[in-house]
């Protein structure tokens, strides 16, 4: 079974990705630095969970886009 992400992590990650779509990439380390600049959380674990979920969403969207391009062209 996979790891469960809390609603706070998902909600915050989606909101940040919606507000700043160009800042995030498929690289966790880069996203971790960006998240720490954008939000003020005391917990390193929470920051890492948010950055990890953003990385997951970006990579998933990229793969979906590549698949759609391969089917059409």
| Dihedral angle sign, alpha carbons of residues 3, 24, 28, 57 | positive
The answer to whether residue 2 sits within a structural domain is: no
pLDDT confidence of residue 1: 65
Burial bucket for residue 10 (CB in 10 Å: 0-12, 13-18, 19+): middle
Note the helical H segments in 1-73.
Answer: 7-19, 28-38, 44-72
pLDDT confidence of residue 17: 96
How many domains does the chain divide into? 1
Range of the domain at 51: 7-72
Could you list the mean pLDDT of each consecutive 10-residue stretch along the chain, which spans 73 residues?
A: 86 96 95 94 92 96 91 79
What is the distance, to the nearest Å, from the Cα of residue 2 to the centroid of all Cα atoms in its chain?
17
The answer to whether residue 1 sits within a structural domain is: no
Distance CA 9, CA 34 (A): 15
Q: pTM here?
A: 0.89
Distance CA 31, CA 28 (A): 5
């Amino acid at each position: 079974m996979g790891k469960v992400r809390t609603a706070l992590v998902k909600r915050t990650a989606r909101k940040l990705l919606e507000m700043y779509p160009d800042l995030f990439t498929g690289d966790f380390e880069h996203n971790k630095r960006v998240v720490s600049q954008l939000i003020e959380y005391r917990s390193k674990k929470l920051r890492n969970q948010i950055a990890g979920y953003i990385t997951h969403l970006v990579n998933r969207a990229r793969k979906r886009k590549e698949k759609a391009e391969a089917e059409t062209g």
